[in-house]
Chains A and B, each alone.
Chain A
Amino acid sequence: MNPNHPAISVRDLCKRFRTTQALDGVSLDIQPGEFFGLLGPNGAGKTTLISILAGLTRADAGRAAIMGHDVVRDYRQARRALGVVPQELVYDPFFNVRETLRIQSGYFGLRHNDGWIDEIMHHLDLTPHAAKNTQSLSGGMKRRLLVAQALVHKPPVIVLDEPTAGVDVDLRRSLWEFISRLNREGHTILLTTHYLEEAEALCGRIAMLKAGRIVACDTTRNLLQRTSEHCAALRLAGAPPAGWLERLQALPDGGWRFSFSEYNELESLLAGVRSAGGRVTEMQLLEADLEDVFTDIMKRT
């Protein structure tokens, strides 16, 4: 592994499925140790991108590398460096949990991997289920097993494709604790998710995909500051000033919501209220969350 290489490097990646252009020239670098989020609506190309990284799909043009290893030319080293948790809840009903993990280790040429297998089973609360057939596991347990399978070969880069879809709150939390720990220990994490608050809380950097193109790629902090929209919730004594009515949105609790892009607009509103003889009894500034940014970016591009 060359430390000078990005953990994941993608250049001008294109992929077409019959009539849809799933990826349309995507370039992206993810550095070792990052917790990176990939967001986008359904069909934006997130899973296609991951499939190309994993060697499950072949790109029409462009290239991709894991820890500096080209995913086509050096596929062996690339796959050894990559652990993938697929989106679909798949399992092999012929085997139990321990067998599944032993066999998966074997595919990577790892013998005597029981120490590490025990450790991941312990961290994912799979130990009591070790001898259970995979078919008899609950959905959440199957998801944990998929995570465990992705980790059997201690990959430096871990890709999770919507790992918390349809997963209950407890499991989601324990899964994120575990993944965050792996990230703190130096693993690079690439995550796709539909839960924006999840991405906001976990990811240091985020790329947004739309129709096969990257429409935004920045640190989570910058993205959150980037939205032009600010918002305030106000409660007024008396009616709002006449000229401002159309800019105010009535809230069910009797207050008003005011959206603005520059803070001096808020000042003007407050001045308008005062000169009309009104009074602000309560005001709260609402900070933009990733969902606003996401909606905003998806709308504008």
Chain B
Amino acid sequence: MNGFLALLYKELLRFWKVAVQTVVAPVVTALLYLLIFSHVLESHIEVYPGVSYTQFLVPGLVMMSMLQNAFSNSSSSLIQSKITGNIVFVLLPPLSYLQFFGAYLIAAIVRGLVVGLGVWLVTLGFSTPTVPHPGWLLAFSLLACGLMGAVGILAGIWAEKFDQLAAFQNFLILPLTFLSGVFYSIHSLPAFWQAVSHWNPVFYMIDGFRYAFLGQSDIAPGFGLLVVAGSFVAISALSLLMLKSGYKLRH
């Protein structure tokens, strides 16, 4: 077991030990969204022809849960370690900044995927379980969880207090995910807000992921994947620079 694997193992074990909070709770939350929104809107909205609102909603909810949990995993692990001081346990060993980044990133992706799978499983009873484009599903899941895991690393390194992280989550992550077309197609928005949505990377994640399930989307999935991949590379590069310089971790 090299240092990277040990850190990955520790990060996985960390969230798995509190799986009720880190896996079961988000699945239940997503299920509640599904029950309420599909109950209220099922008979009123048809986003794409021949696609029921529930069918439309499920991929968005799965993706939203994955994103939020991937972000939570890396960010909360880092901030907890920084505040309790046990971050020294990973700063003292000979781990490189790449190993450090990789371990937190992959753990975040795994948490995202496990939660996503859980949400998808409980929604099976509500929508037709078909995935015509599994390749897109895999690509969007991995890159989107990776992107949010990297954002979580960034936020976890930057934040010095819990409320700073909460601000990051409530004023950036939550609006970006809610205003990304999880619950609606952005074509239903006024032109201005449609244009704004195109600057939101989360919109491309939801839209592309939905394409994998429904074969229909607002944007061509290839372009969406490019945007997500580009964002992932940019955020990862920034996180790696921060880690390499020791920003806020090594004074």
A residues adjacent to B (C-beta < 8 A): 17, 51, 54-58, 75-77, 79-80, 82, 84, 86, 88, 90-95, 99, 103-111, 149, 153
- Residue in A58, A95, A107 whose beta carbon sits within 8 Å of that of B95 in the complex: A107
Query: Are the CB atoms of B89 and A104 closer together than 8 Å?
Result: yes
Q: Determine if B13 is an interface residue (Cβ-Cβ < 8 Å).
A: yes
The residues of A that contact B90 with a CB separation of less than 8 Å are: 107
Known interface pairs A56-B250, A107-B7; A94-B94 also in contact (CB < 8 Å): no
A56 to B248 CA separation, bound complex (whole angstroms): 10
Give chain B residues whose Cβ lies under 8 Å from the Cβ of A17: 251
Instruction: Name the distance in Å between B166's Cβ and chain A's nearest Cβ.
Output: 20
Task: Judge if B81 is at the interface, Cβ distance under 8 Å.
Answer: yes
Bound Cα distance A29, B136 (Å): 60
Whether the pair B85, A103 counts as a contact (CB closer than 8 A) is no
B residues 38-91 in Cβ contact with A at 8 Å: 81, 84-86, 88-91
A92 B3 Cβ-Cβ under 8 A? no
Residue of B nearest to A113 (CB): B1
Question: Which single residue of chain B is at the shortest CB-CB distance from A106?
Answer: B6
Inter-subunit contact A109/B84 (CB<8 Å): no
- Decide if B125 is an interface residue (CB 8 Å cutoff): no
CB neighbours (8 Å) of B1 from chain A are: 106, 109-111
For the A-B complex with A55-B91, A76-B94, A149-B89 known, give 17 more contacts whose Cβ atoms are closer than 8 Å: A55-B92, A56-B250, A57-B251, A58-B250, A91-B84, A92-B84, A94-B17, A95-B17, A103-B9, A103-B10, A104-B89, A105-B6, A106-B7, A107-B90, A107-B94, A108-B93, A109-B6
Contacts of B89 in A (CB 8 A): 90, 92, 103-104, 107, 149
The docked-state distance in angstroms from the alpha carbon of A80 to that of B3 is: 12
Chain A residues with CB under 8 A of B215: none
A108 proximity list for chain B (CB < 8 A): 3, 93-94
Which B residue sits closest to A22, measured CB to CB?
B251
Does B188 count as interface, using CB distance less than 8 angstroms? no
Contacts of A99 in B (CB 8 A): 13
- Given A58-B250, A92-B89, A106 and B5 touching (CB < 8 A)? yes
B130 part of interface (Cβ distance < 8 Å)? no
A51: chain B residues at CB < 8 Å are: 251
- B3 near A91: Cβ-Cβ < 8 Å: no
State whether B93 touches A104 (Cβ < 8 A): yes
Near A by CB (< 8 A), chain B positions 162-176 give: none
CB distance from B100 to the nearest CB of A (A): 10
Q: Which of B84, B91, B246 contacts A93 (CB 8 A)?
A: B84
How many pairs of A and B residues are in contact by the CB < 8 Å rule?
85
CB–CB A56/B93 < 8 A: no
A202 CB, nearest partner CB in chain B, Å: 23
A43 CA to B250 CA, complexed, in Å: 19
Least CB distance, B113 to chain A, in whole angstroms: 21
- CB within 8 Å of A: which B1-36 residues: 1-3, 5-7, 9-10, 13-14, 17-18
Instruction: Tell me which of B9, B14, B91 contacts A106 (CB under 8 A).
Output: B9
Q: How far is the CA of A90 from the CA of B92 in the complex (A)?
A: 13
Contact residue among A54, A75, A90, A103 (Cβ-Cβ distance under 8 Å from B6) = A103
Inter-chain contact A90/B9, CB cutoff 8 Å: no
**List of B residues within 8 angstroms of A55 by Cβ:** 91-92, 250
Least CB separation from A152: chain B residue = B93
Chain B nearest Cβ from A234, distance in angstroms = 52
Residue pair B250, A106 in contact (C-beta under 8 Å)? no
Contact B92 A56, beta carbon cutoff 8 Å: yes
Residue of B nearest to A91 (CB): B86
Question: How far apart sit A255 and B157, CA to CA, in the bound complex (Å)?
Answer: 63
**With contacts A57-B250, A90-B85 known, is A79 near B6, CB below 8 A?**
no
CA distance A55 to B1 in the complex (A): 23
* A94–B88 touching, CB < 8 Å: no
10 chain-A/chain-B pairs, Cβ below 8 angstroms: A55-B250, A76-B94, A79-B94, A86-B85, A86-B88, A91-B84, A92-B89, A99-B13, A108-B3, A109-B1
Q: Which residues of B contact A75 (CB under 8 A)?
A: 94
- Chain A's closest residue to B16 (CB) is A94
Nearest B-chain residue to A57, judged by Cβ? B251
A20 to B160, CA, bound (A): 22
Measured CA separation A119–B148 after assembly (Å):
42
Given contacts A55-B92, A56-B92, contact A90 B251 (CB under 8 A): no
Given contact pairs A55-B250, A94-B13, A80 touches B94 in the complex (Cβ within 8 A): yes
> Are B251 and A58 touching (Cβ within 8 A)?
yes
Contacts of A88 in B (CB 8 A): 85
A299–chain B nearest beta-carbon distance, Å? 31
Which of B17, B88, B95 is in CB contact (< 8 Å) with A56? B88
Complex CA distance for A57 and B251, rounded to whole angstroms: 5
Q: How far is the CA of A138 from the CA of B17 in the complex (A)?
A: 22
**Chain A residues near B85 (CB, 8 Å)?**
86, 88, 90
Chain A hits for B251, CB < 8 A: 17, 51, 56-58
Instruction: Annotate B206-228 by CB proximity to A: 1 below 8 A, 0 otherwise.
Output: 00000000000000000000000
